[in-house]
Structure 1
Amino acid sequence: MSESKRAHPTDLELAALISSKICHDVIGPVGAIYNGLEILNEDDDAEAQSYALSVIRNVTEQASARLQFARFAFGAAGSAGAQIDLGTAEQISRGFIGQGKHKLVWIGFPGYMVKDKVKLLLNLIAVAVTALPRGGEIEVRLEGTAEAPSFALRCKGTGARAPQHLGEFIAGDGAPPLDALTIQAYYTWRLAQASGMSLSIIKDGADVVLSAAG
């Protein structure tokens, strides 16, 4: 379906879809916290207690990082026209990526950037994770200036592929229905439009590179 014919969701529908996305991302860690608490209540074995505390500690950190990321990537994160510290953006991105099978490399400059462009960058990082289903390195490179930036995210890893759904939204053809799993790519595409930046996805050898430029 071409962009001109695409029926964008209403504000209420978009809010509902993003809420579903956030719930989808945090329900796993929250459920693991509950399971850990049940072990603490029901099993007096010292080893089991230690294991449960370790699980609770790890997944609580994970849930907190995901919520912090969602606050900036999807939320208002300040009044209209606010700017966001790029150091904060890097910090919450590292928390979101965590210490699992993905590694984040950040190459940029310090300063503050208009909110929507930072939100676009954060959403591109989240989308880039889907380009590396087996894990790997996401190299985030910021170029230009804070007023006129460009972003390049190089995804390096075994089986690197185009991120899920984003290419279809960019092309305007064959885009999937919107749901909690596709809203990330759709919202990234809409943020790029709002920021006056064009998105591209290219295969560079074994790597996949996501770019946004004004």
Structure 2
Amino acid sequence: MGQSNHNLASLIGSRICHDLISPIGAITNGLELLDMAGGMEGPELELISDSVGNAGARIRFFRIAYGAAGEQMLGRAEVTLVLDDVSRGGRLQLHWSPHEPQSRACVRLAFLAIQCLETAMPYGGNVVAAVEDGRWSVTGTSTKLNVDPALWAGLSAPEALAQVTPAQVQFALMPTVAQDLDRPISTEQADGHITIHF
């Protein structure tokens, strides 16, 4: 059975994230045991603990954004836990408005949209993901936006997208995933705001 390029990439993403989360969890458990034993304290342990926590959060985020979606539904508690962990100590504050469980495929698109917005908000800000009558909007608000017009045009017209770097791969993947779900993407920008609709 053949696989499309982006489906194959999703399976690879799922596999990598699945294999990485186990050792990250083991390190976290080891740190907890050290803390309970009282054998190690200080800034070194705190630095390791923070780094492992951040790595685990990013892997869980990437697993949803870049992994295979399937038919699974994701509840608000699960999604907000991932977003809270990812934004802890960062420049972006991430807010999840939907209260009802959402399809993993739509959550995946929202996470890819968050990553697109992250590139336009180098100084930080707030990102809100919301859905109304089945139509999603992911809006970034910042005092200073840095929008690359070529990348953003590629979201609604992927054929116009030039080569992307690894840090920009979300701009190439999001339109392909949205097309598979029959969800056209549009964007709008106003002073201090940029929104992705799908």
Q: Bin the TM-score by the shorter chain.
A: 0.7 to 0.9
1:157 deviates by 1.0
Q: Flag structure 2 segments of 5+ consecutive residues without an equivalent.
A: 28-39
- Alpha-carbon contact 1:17-1:180 (below 8 Å) kept: no
Map 1:1-214 → 2, pairs under 5 A? 10=5, 14=9, 50-76=42-68, 80-110=70-100, 112-144=101-133, 149-162=134-147, 165-172=151-158, 174-212=160-198
Normalising by structure 1, we get a TM-score of 0.68
Equivalent-residue separation in structure 2 for 1:159 and 1:62 (angstroms): 25
Equivalent position amino acid for 1:157 in 2: S
Equivalent position amino acid for 2:193 in 1: D
- Alpha-carbon contact 1:161-1:208 (below 8 Å) kept: no
Q: Flag structure 1 segments of 5+ consecutive residues without an equivalent.
A: 1-8, 34-45
Write out per-residue CA displacement over residues 123-142 of structure 1, whole angstroms, 9 at most, x where no aligned residue: 11222211211111112222
When residues 12 and 74 of structure 1 are mapped into structure 2, their CA distance, relative to the original with a 3 A threshold, is closer
Equivalent-residue separation in structure 1 for 2:183 and 2:96 (angstroms): 20
When residues 13 and 68 of structure 1 are mapped into structure 2, their CA distance, relative to the original with a 3 A threshold, is closer
1:18 deviates by 5.4
Equivalent-residue separation in structure 2 for 1:114 and 1:180 (angstroms): 27
For these two proteins, the number of residue pairs brought into alignment is: 174
Equivalent-residue separation in structure 1 for 2:141 and 2:54 (angstroms): 23
Q: Which protein has greater RCO, CA pairs closer than 8 Å, 6+ apart? A: 1
Give the helix-richer structure, 1 or 2.
2
Equivalent position amino acid for 1:153 in 2: V
Structure 1 stretches (4+) deviating beyond 3 angstroms? 9-19, 161-164
When residues 17 and 82 of structure 1 are mapped into structure 2, their CA distance, relative to the original with a 3 A threshold, is closer
1:12 deviates by 8.5
- Alpha-carbon contact 2:127-2:139 (below 8 Å) kept: yes
Equivalent-residue separation in structure 2 for 1:116 and 1:13 (angstroms): 16
Write out per-residue CA displacement over residues 4-49 of structure 1, whole angstroms, 9 at most, x where no aligned residue: xxxxx83597469959x97xxx9xxx9xx9xxxxxxxxxxxx9xx7
Percent identity, aligned pairs only, is 18
When residues 155 and 11 of structure 1 are mapped into structure 2, their CA distance, relative to the original with a 3 A threshold, is closer
Aligned CA-pair RMSD: 3.1
